[in-house]
Chains A and B, each alone.
Chain A
Amino acid sequence: MKYSYYPGCAQHGTAVDYRISVEAVFGRLGIELEEIKNWNCCGALHVPDRTVKTALCARTLASAKGLDMATPCNLCYSNLMRTNTALQDNVLRTMVNEALTEKYDGNTKPKHLLEVIVKDLGLPKLMEFVKQPLKIKAVPYYGCLLTRPENNFDSPEDPKSLDNLISSLGAEPVKYYYKTKCCAGPILITNEDLALGLAKELLAMAKETGADCIVVTCPMCHLQLDAKQKAVEAKFNIKIDLPIIYFTQLMGLAMGFDPKELGLSRHLVPTDKLIAKIGGK
């Protein structure tokens, strides 16, 4: 299995832990992620000009070299998916292509890494790699942009792929009514009070389920729930202390990796209790 790989900006910054775990886990699964050369930002949610954003994503999609394009970030995934749909329009594609050295033909398929695991690799195959079934309870948190506004592998209202992944690793996915509710990451910088309020709702509800951790698929969600967890605790005078784990880190733990090889020491919320419960070092 080989994919053209679009890491997105966060992998070189706030999501360095995600990157470490992706490299470890995908390496062992034998899934080749070939990073595209000289890649650019997808525009995130902060390049207001839609045409510019479309062109930024078109440039990325054009560099896939006939392979499917995998990406670890919900935001990048959502932007690539939307752009790809919009670029099926010949007029728009021709206009955008004027600015690109490598022209886009409209034929690249963007895929989130979770989709690569649950749909392309398949969970039965993944289970062959599980060395240490995880006897923990985990909250499956999908966030917004993994399934909305469009995706090719799960329901936007009640997605199941992450629940199923958690089960296949031997852990128990808890019922979590906020699984697709927004974490407000995109407005964190400009409207912190509101953003922390939303994060608090998610964290408090997750805590109530009695789970050992929240599993995420997106660097923005991780930033909000892990890095900002202390700020939420301080603002609302509550104790959460809930580790936020990337799904690739959860896979890595079940596959027998040392937590250090998965970037778990780089989280702001300590992960040692979780690791001890799993029986890791």
Chain B
Amino acid sequence: MKKEPLSPESRDPAFKEQVLKTPAGEKIQTCMQCGICAGSCPVSHEMDHSPRELVRMVQLGLKREVLSSNTIWICTTCFSCSVRCPRGIHPTELMEMLKPIAIAEGIRNKNIKFDNVFSDVIKNNGRASEFLLISKYSLTEPGMINQLPFGLSMMAKGKIPLSIDRMENTRELDAIFKLGEKTGEPKKESKETKEKDKQPEQTKPEENEIAEGEAKK
């Protein structure tokens, strides 16, 4: 994987501030570069910059490098890094938050094309019909023609219906999608929400015991 050298000239403090004030960016400054995120990531070997590096790059305000890296698009959103980070940073959420910024900055790639098709299908129909998604995406990605035999095998099993699944009434969707245009940036959550976020309830110990007893039979 070819990595672009990081140059201090490309530092952009405004970008750094923009990221740090979002819920996902709040704890970025506390990163100690332990690398558990990169070690947990199932696809870091394919990334231009590992999640660990990306966090450091945000700290440095390297806007161009961050937004043009393939890292934010290769992320499978599996949250392995997020549940393991000892500092409570959520790299997955960071990637999600960087996507709209990259789009707004004019970055273009396959993933954005697909996300655009997906968003349009949802905006117009309310539901993701596979047939509609794939046919619309194929118009922008001619390579998708290779997937035709696969598509047909799915159709033969009744798994890709030709009828378009849609909501009976899509009126509310306009207002929902307008919300995005209005707000642009994700809003910062309150302290109270953060505390709750940190401590997801676990299975109660007594239930675990019963369950494990059964497992051993």
A-side residues, CB < 8 A to B, are 9, 12-17, 37-41, 43-52, 55-56, 59, 78, 85-86, 88-92, 95-96, 98-101, 118-119, 123, 144-145, 148-157, 160-161, 163-164, 167-168, 173, 180-182, 184-187, 189-191, 194, 198, 227-228, 231, 266-268
Contacts and interface: CB of A to CB of B under 8 A. Distances in A.
A78 B113 CA distance: 24
Contacts of B77: 45, 144-145, 186
Contacts of A40: 122, 126-127, 167, 172-173
A119 to B, nearest CB: 7
B179 A96 contact: yes
A75 B25 CA distance: 23
B160 A184 contact: no
A92 B192 CA distance: 13
Contacts of B153: 227, 268
Interface string B88-114: 001010001101100100000011101
Contact of A13 (B119, B130, B150): B130
Contacts of A88: 192-193, 196
B64 to A, nearest CB: 19
Most buried by B among A52, A151, A164: A52
Nearest to A191: B74
Contact of A182 (B80, B82, B192, B208): B80
Contacts of B165: 9, 12-13
A181 B154 contact: no
A41 B127 contact: yes
Interface of B: 23, 42-43, 46, 73-74, 76-80, 82-83, 90, 92, 96-97, 99-100, 103, 110-112, 114-115, 118-119, 122, 126-131, 134, 137, 150, 153-154, 157-161, 165, 167-169, 172-173, 175-180, 183, 186-187, 189-190, 192-193, 196-197, 200-203, 207-208, 211-212, 214-217
Contact of B212 (A144, A164, A227, A231): A164
Counting from the closest, the 5 A-B pairs by CB-CB distance are A148-B79, A182-B78, A46-B118, A49-B180, A144-B78
Secondary structure class of chain B's binding surface, majority of residues:
helix
Given A151-B200, A164-B214, A167-B214, A55 B179 contact: yes
B184 to A, nearest CB: 8
B211 A91 contact: no
B176 A99 contact: yes
Given A47-B115, A51-B183, A89-B190, A167 B217 contact: yes
Contacts of A184: 42-43, 76
A52 B179 contact: yes
Given A40-B122, A55-B179, A161-B211, A194 B46 contact: yes
Contacts of A185: 76
A148 B78 contact: yes
Contacts of A13: 129-131, 159-161, 165
Contact of B100 (A48, A182, A194): A48
A173 B215 contact: yes
22 contacts: A47-B115, A48-B115, A48-B119, A50-B96, A51-B186, A85-B197, A88-B192, A95-B187, A99-B172, A99-B176, A99-B178, A144-B77, A145-B79, A149-B90, A152-B200, A164-B212, A182-B78, A184-B76, A187-B76, A198-B42, A227-B154, A228-B150
